[in-house]
Structure 1
């Protein structure tokens, strides 16, 4: 679905993304974790060719029209500038692929927007607008979906709902990569976690292998309890990690 080789981004003398090697396979739901400034957004945007970068990205080399049919991108910014009906905003996701009323309906239903379809999107709450833009990305119906903090600002039920939608997409053979700030939700729903630190991949693998006490201390500076429960991994942050040497 996507292959990155030595992908790097520099801003002046500062290296923001440092030699990323990464391959995504069909059917994966990948959670991209890391503290603020770790390089998660830069990685997603550079992979899509939206930032000047060194190295190689299999997506960035595609012509723009072909890239739009290969990958949908949900950025952090959630601006809806025009008072268009919700249904019309979601339908914009079909621009690259061509009209498909059934897929638009599926996207509206997946994000629980059917009853809001005729409301001007600018009159919705921030969380509702976020769901509209997620639905628009779903309507693009691409093999790969890259989402930058898609559940930020959503209430707990909506967060779980979106994560379930992404997990279901992965079971159909599509690939989802989402940058997240909640290790607990990531552990429960993702098939693979990538933990970033200072522009590099610090750990990559199944959730329980990535969310180790040592990794959580090194990347987030915290102590946390992570265990396998009857319904999947359970994560609870406990405290700040003690300074090294203590």
Structure 2
């Protein structure tokens, strides 16, 4: 088991932004964390990692910072790169939880992360000189270089072009198939349906659904949680999700 949550709650003042969530993540899973804005997705991941105060239990939160970083890589929404490092140097920061690992296995991990994100030709470029989408891909590569079995990623494909979005989801799929696991928050329900093995649906701080995409993305749930009318179906080319109209809030 990569992560276990038991009645995890996060309060903002007296208001629960995450309300008694219990769930677990196993090896081989790519879990899409979906829900409307303000549903508690970011707070759930940050609470699970012990980055903010939370009630209940997370199997990661009690670890010391270095052990936690070796167990789980965290990719937050914030993508600003403050230092004028080369792409390779920035990706190599993912090796910090492993100590002074700059040769051998550490160097190989950096090169593999650059390759998986298609950044080999960018390795010597200054990261701050890249476009916003390119910087986002560099930060994903840094998380991959960390070689933690679990990756928690908060809206990692937001702002990427369609090809980069699909490529990133394929990288996450490969990480899960290799025995790791990924929990990623997403707003693109089509990509979530096509690439994720499971979906967690958050609404008003609560985990209201947990299952395979075809079990979760029902017309009733889409109407109640997302206030949309949509179709979800399985085709020979894979799952297809088609939003049709809003239902009002």
Shorter-chain TM-score category?
over 0.9
1:81-106, Cα deviation, whole Å (9 max, x unpaired): 01110000000000112331111111
1:154-204, Cα deviation, whole Å (9 max, x unpaired): 000000000000001100110100000001001100100011100001110
Give the Cα–Cα distance (whole angstroms) in 1 for the partners of residues 198 and 12 of structure 2: 29
Structure 2 residue matching 1:96: 3-state secondary structure: helix
2:39 corresponds to 1:38: yes
| 2:167 counterpart residue number | 161
| 2:68 counterpart residue number | 67
2:195 corresponds to 1:192: no
Give the Cα–Cα distance (whole angstroms) in 2 for the partners of residues 147 and 156 of structure 1: 18
Give the Cα–Cα distance (whole angstroms) in 1 for the partners of residues 143 and 248 of structure 2: 41
- Pairs aligned (count): 243
Give the Cα–Cα distance (whole angstroms) in 2 for the partners of residues 88 and 220 of structure 1: 41
Q: CA RMSD in A?
A: 0.9
Structure 1 residue matching 2:45: 3-state secondary structure: helix
| 1:241 counterpart residue number | 247
Give the Cα–Cα distance (whole angstroms) in 2 for the partners of residues 11 and 20 of structure 1: 16
| 2:137 counterpart residue number | 131
Give the Cα–Cα distance (whole angstroms) in 1 for the partners of residues 79 and 116 of structure 2: 19
More moved, 69-78 vs 231-240: 231-240
1:98-119, Cα deviation, whole Å (9 max, x unpaired): 3311111110011111111111
| 2:221 counterpart residue number | 215
* Correspondence list, 1:30-179, <5 A: 30-97=31-98, 98-99=101-102, 100-179=106-185
Any stretches of 5+ residues in structure 2 without a counterpart? Answer: none
Give the Cα–Cα distance (whole angstroms) in 2 for the partners of residues 242 and 130 of structure 1: 33
Q: What is the Cα deviation at residue 67 of structure 1?
A: 0.5
Give the Cα–Cα distance (whole angstroms) in 2 for the partners of residues 15 and 204 of structure 1: 20
Q: Return closer, same or farther for 1:224/1:21 CA change in 2, 3 Å cut-off.
A: same
Structure 2 residue matching 1:95: 3-state secondary structure: helix
TM-score, normalising length: structure 2: 0.96
| 2:30 counterpart residue number | 29
TM-score, normalising length: structure 1: 0.97
1:188-226, Cα deviation, whole Å (9 max, x unpaired): 001000111000011100011011001111111000111
Give the Cα–Cα distance (whole angstroms) in 1 for the partners of residues 19 and 61 of structure 2: 17
Q: What is the Cα deviation at residue 64 of structure 1?
A: 1.2
Moved over 3 A (4+): none
Q: What is the Cα deviation at residue 49 of structure 1?
A: 0.1
